[in-house]
């Protein structure tokens, strides 16, 4: 398993465990949870994760393009 995958799994699990612990420890909060509110949170979290993934992919691509540009420039200078 790659380091990126391990980090993602660890981050996700610790967030889930932390969220569940917080929800269980705050019993009055459990009474305030509604299906509509839960749905809103799920939709928001999904949209946020998708946006984060797209931004990461765009930044990775930009980083690769910049790296290629400087590698090409360096090889042109050596000729």
What six digits make up the tokens of 70? 């400087």
Residue 62: what pLDDT? Answer: 92
pTM: 0.51
Q: Compute the distance between CA of residue 50 and CA of residue 58 in angstroms, rounded to an integer.
A: 12
CA distance 10 to 18: 12
Higher pLDDT, 60 or 30: 60
């Amino acid at each position: 398993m790659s380091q990126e995958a391990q980090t993602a799994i660890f981050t996700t699990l610790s967030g889930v465990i932390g969220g569940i612990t917080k929800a269980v420890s705050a019993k009055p909060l459990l009474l305030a949870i509604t299906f509509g509110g839960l749905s809103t949170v799920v939709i928001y979290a999904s949209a946020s994760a998708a946006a984060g993934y797209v931004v990461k992919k765009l930044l990775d691509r930009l980083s690769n393009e910049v790296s290629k540009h400087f590698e090409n420039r360096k090889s042109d200078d050596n000729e």
